[in-house]
Structure 1
Amino acid sequence: MLHLFVDMLERVGFLIALAFVFSRSRWMRSYMSYQGEQAHQWRFIVFFSLYAILGTYSGVTVTPYSYQPAPWIGEVSPTAAIANSRSIGVVIAGLLGGVKSGLIVGVIAGLHRYSLGGFVAVACMLAPVAQGILAGLCRNAVKRRFRHAASAKPAFAVGLIAEAVQMGLILLLAKPWNEALGLVALIGIPQVVANGIGVSLFFIVYHTMESEEDRIGTEHARKALHIADLTMPLWRLDFDRAVREVARTLHEETKAVGAYFYKNDMVWAKEGRKTPYWVDLPMEMQNKKLIGRFRLFYERKQEDSPSRRRMLTTLARLISQQYAFVETERQGQLLADAEIRSLQAQMNPHFLFNVLNTVKSFIRTKPEEARQLITHLSKFLRKNMNGSSKTMVSVRDELELVTSYLSLTKARLGDQLEFVTDIDEAALDCRIPPFTIQPLVENAIVHGLQNIGRPGIIRLDVKQEACDGQYRARITVEDNGTGMCLDVAGAADEHAGVALRNIVQRLSYHYGTEKPLQIDSAPGKGTKVSFWVR
């Protein structure tokens, strides 16, 4: 009996050593660490079915009164049986995967054992089924305790009980009974104890694997947070420079040989070099709108471990959230700047003096028009204050602001200013950022029509037109003034250039277009500015 126990421990040691080797491969870890996902259950079942079958083949051929060690089990004679470690795979499948997994692995292992023959073939066919169900019930009873580090002792107990069940089935079903009794007396204690130890050792290996995976996951999480700390301030730069700096940081802080940024399938930034193996880090807004993607290139194909997937997913999410946070902050500042510039325009001493002087001159000669000017001034101020608290307004609301502004300006300029509109009612409910049209009209009057020596004409069109296969609203502000250089930075003065850049940045943020403003202008030929809205 002692020699058989030693031989059984050798077989168990072989299986545990094999499990340890499997645990070194991240590819095999996914087969061993099934977590209840329906899509991966079949891999778990296949792995432990093969593991149980291997436990059968690596067993020891015995008769009721003796045993004969052999390197591999082939066929069992009618008077022989196998002292084996099959139950290790079956019990572990039940403890980790539950009743269903334990049952399926037990059925496969039992049918395989039955095909080898022997006078205990029927009992040994039913025993794995019972062991798998028993292990699954034990797993459910303790609420997955077998996935925690303290599971080695209860796993040993379940392994003992499972083997005891097999011995009982042999006594109950095997014929002749006296031979079955002799067999159990010979293999009972060695097989029960050795396989109980085997189940316990497997869980020690399993939890070592899990601890290592957790350690790697912690390191990956720490690395992702470190990279996020480095990239956060970079997003406050201009977008082009920001993605270049972030790509450089990713290239330096990861093991990638290259880091590229793609937007609309075009390379915007690149660090290092390309290889055939890459991983993408998509940048998405909260509305799932794709901004672009960082692509990390590697020398060889990367192992797809769960912790590494989580790290890359987390890093992509952190970078996306950083961009979204900074961009939202920037848009708020742009809106505030637009409001301030608009308020400055209306509160400009010259503007106010001109409006008040116009009202004063109308009080005696045109009292009704004086009252209308005061109404327009009040509405203009109110619209400005209301727009400052919104990120989007309707075209209708924006046109009311423009109408009030033009009414105040035209009252002062008289016949020197003509305002022409062509408005499509179907487009008035479209949404645009506030203070978008009014600054364009203001620029046209203050910078385009100044000192032209002839009556100025401002034309505002809001039309529904086909664009990219669908109808959108096209807004156009046109003047017959002095024109300007197409380079925004070289506009008439700094205020005009800043106003246009502000509008460009806000339209780009909301509509995702690189150049939302279409400007057609030349010195002495007037200016036409248009953009599309949804």
Structure 2
Amino acid sequence: MIHLVPLMIERVGVIVIAAFILAQMKSFRQVVQHEQGIKEKLFILFIFGVFGIISNYTGIEVHQREITARTWIDEIGTENAIANTRIMNIVIGGILGGPLVGGGVGIIAGFHRYLLGGYTAFSCAISSVIAGFFAGIVGKYFKGRITTSPWFAVTISMLMEVLQMIILWGSGFRRLVETIGVPMILLNGLGAFLFMLIIISILREEERTKAFQTHQAMKIAEETLPHFRKGLNKQSCKRVAEIMLKRTEADAIAVTNEKEVLAHVGVAEDHHIAPGDFATELTKKVLKRGEILTAHSKRDILCFHPDCPLQAAVVLPLKLHGGTVGTLKLYFVSANKLNKVERELAEGLANLFSVQLELAQAENQGKLLKDAEIKALQAQVHPHFLFNAINTISALCRVDVEKARALLLELSRYFRRNLQGARHILIPFEKELQHVRAYLSLEQARFPDKYKIKFNIEETLKEALIPPFILQPLVENAVRHALSARKNGGEIIIEAYTEQGKLIISVQDNGHGISSERLYMLGKEPVHSSEGTGTALYNISERLQGIYNEEALFQIKSMENGTKVTITVPLKGDYKKDVESFYC
């Protein structure tokens, strides 16, 4: 028995090397990380079926208690058996792919083992199929834990090897089990441990990379926000380029508008002069196409200067309302430095910067909306909400990178809708609901399970036109004030329905209510207190009156079990033309 151990370790080493190579494959990492379809399951079936066959070929031949080590076994004598790592591969295939894949791998490896011959051929084939199906069932229900801890794979692999030994024992091969049982159980477990450890380490490294990438993007976004709020100008772009040069691996950063280079910081400042004309044709192509372009050689950059040290670049469009208004450029002195991480980071930053540019433009469009009050409202909401959201996403980067990325997209959508609403007097009710849902997804990430949201919305009302920013502030007030004292059990009900030709929207909470003195003033004028100024409610009331005159109602009712705010606006008539002339 003891002589079998070093030989088995050699066989385990072959499979571990294969696992390391497999874990480097992007296609395999994607299969393990994401939901699997038929194509992905067939891929796992093929890979581990091949591993199972290799394990049979590289097994150790056993005759009675004698062990014969051969490099490659293509046939087994009728009185011989083999010790190998077949079960380990079948188990891992089942864990990763589920019952059908596990059973399929078991059938492939087991049938091949049967064809090799030997007096245990049939018993080994049967045990292979059983092990595959069982491992697949366990993998299906515990996959999330198995792919984060190798000990599950070890346990299952060893149990399946024990099962094979029991089948061999029951088939009358007691002496064989006494010889190979313990080494095969232990070393198949060891192999499964090393195999899964390699896969898990690769996946965790990728997660850490994504977390770092997201964290870096949020830090850069936080630092550049004050500068981009000033728009695309020489001073703001230079400061943004300096921040990016410090926080990325790029050797030079440049920012342009549609006509010229506004800032260039880092290598090649001697001829990439800002402000000045474009030094590369690559920039002109990005401005024209509106898509990301990458250069991996000096020739691809198309710099007019013959001694330019820049060897690689990624140039990204900065967009405003769907049009390209400038570019963000990351330059590298070596093509090897422009890797996947740097490219993805640059893409994320370009999207964030585009949002920030829209924020800047929105701040300069006050004349379109009677926007003095809307600006005051946004001045209250944006910094507070933005930095809370950034802190939440930054914290999630350490524990749940995919959720952090999803919330980052929600944050982008929130501000996009905020800015789109600021350019219109009336918007579809559905757009306002999307704005609310984006806000709530970010808030509930900060305080999970603290409160529940119920939407009771008539389907026919989604296209009804309403003023922007009349629903989200009400929901925010309920979250920040009415439910602030609750640790859990909070509830917000958002309703919209028609009654006698009018649209009725209400937001109701089960918070602590509002005092009668404060309630009387809310909506009529800003109410100063330690909890806020009441500007949001006053702003809504004033805008409703400005658009609909006396045909709109704004009511606030406070009860022992909460507060209900109701907005009533007419649905009949075409108010859009009247409203636009009102503000012109």
**Superposition TM-score, scaled by structure 1 size:** 0.52
Determine the structure 1 residue equivalent to 2:230. Answer: 237
Contact 2:256/2:328 (<8 A) preserved: yes
Contact 2:230/2:360 (<8 A) preserved: no
2:349 to 305, 312, 315: 315
Deviation of 1:191 after TM superposition, in Å, equals 1.0
Secondary structure at the aligned position of 1:73 is classed as: coil
Residues 1:56 and 2:56 are matched in the alignment: yes
Determine the structure 2 residue equivalent to 1:351. Answer: none
Determine the structure 1 residue equivalent to 2:328. Answer: 294
Secondary structure at the aligned position of 2:335 is classed as: coil
Distance in 1, matches of 2:59 and 2:322, equals 57
Determine the structure 2 residue equivalent to 1:157. Answer: 155
2:366 to 308, 312, 332: 332
Q: Which amino acid aligns with 1:4?
A: L
Secondary structure at the aligned position of 1:77 is classed as: coil
Q: Which amino acid aligns with 2:188?
A: N
Determine the structure 2 residue equivalent to 1:121. Answer: 121
Distance in 1, matches of 2:22 and 2:215, equals 27
CA deviation string 1:366-410 (max 9, x = no partner): xxxxxxxxxxxxxxxxxxxxxxx973479xxxxxxxxxxxxxxxx
Q: Which amino acid aligns with 2:335?
A: R
RMSD of aligned alpha carbons? 4.1
Contact 1:139/1:145 (<8 A) preserved: no
**Superposition TM-score, scaled by structure 2 size:** 0.48
Contact 1:31/1:43 (<8 A) preserved: no
Determine the structure 1 residue equivalent to 2:247. Answer: 253
1:222 to 215, 228, 235: 215
1:209 to 182, 202, 217: 202
Structure 2 gaps, min length 5? 269-294, 298-311, 374-420, 427-584
Deviation of 1:37 after TM superposition, in Å, equals 3.6
Distance in 2, matches of 1:171 and 1:57, equals 23
Q: Which amino acid aligns with 1:235?
A: F
Determine the structure 2 residue equivalent to 1:374. Answer: none
Determine the structure 1 residue equivalent to 2:180. Answer: 187
Deviation of 1:135 after TM superposition, in Å, equals 0.8
Q: Which amino acid aligns with 1:160?
A: M
Percent identical residues? 29
Distance in 2, matches of 1:105 and 1:267, equals 59
Q: Which amino acid aligns with 2:87?
A: S
Deviation of 1:16 after TM superposition, in Å, equals 3.2
Change in Cα spacing, 1:50 to 1:143, as seen in structure 2 (3 Å) is closer
CA deviation string 1:192-227 (max 9, x = no partner): 222123223333344333443333333223322232
Distance in 2, matches of 1:45 and 1:6, equals 29
CA deviation string 1:465-489 (max 9, x = no partner): xxxxxxxxxxxxxxxxxxxxxxxxx
Distance in 2, matches of 1:194 and 1:289, equals 61
Change in Cα spacing, 1:52 to 1:261, as seen in structure 2 (3 Å) is farther
Contact 2:229/2:356 (<8 A) preserved: no
Residues 1:33 and 2:49 are matched in the alignment: no
Distance in 2, matches of 1:304 and 1:126, equals 48
Change in Cα spacing, 1:102 to 1:5, as seen in structure 2 (3 Å) is same
Deviation of 1:92 after TM superposition, in Å, equals 1.4
Distance in 2, matches of 1:263 and 1:323, equals 12
Distance in 1, matches of 2:79 and 2:342, equals 53
Number of residues of Structure 1 aligned to a counterpart in Structure 2: 335
Distance in 1, matches of 2:425 and 2:13, equals 73
Distance in 2, matches of 1:391 and 1:168, equals 74
Q: Which amino acid aligns with 2:423?
A: T
Distance in 2, matches of 1:187 and 1:12, equals 15
Structure 1 gaps, min length 5? 340-388, 395-534
Change in Cα spacing, 1:43 to 1:140, as seen in structure 2 (3 Å) is closer
Deviation of 1:126 after TM superposition, in Å, equals 3.7
Q: Which amino acid aligns with 1:156?
A: V
Q: Which amino acid aligns with 1:230?
A: E
Secondary structure at the aligned position of 1:239 is classed as: coil
Secondary structure at the aligned position of 2:3 is classed as: helix
Q: Which amino acid aligns with 1:15?
A: I
Matches within 5 A, 1:68-147: 68-142=68-142, 144-147=144-147
Deviation of 1:90 after TM superposition, in Å, equals 1.6
Secondary structure at the aligned position of 2:52 is classed as: helix
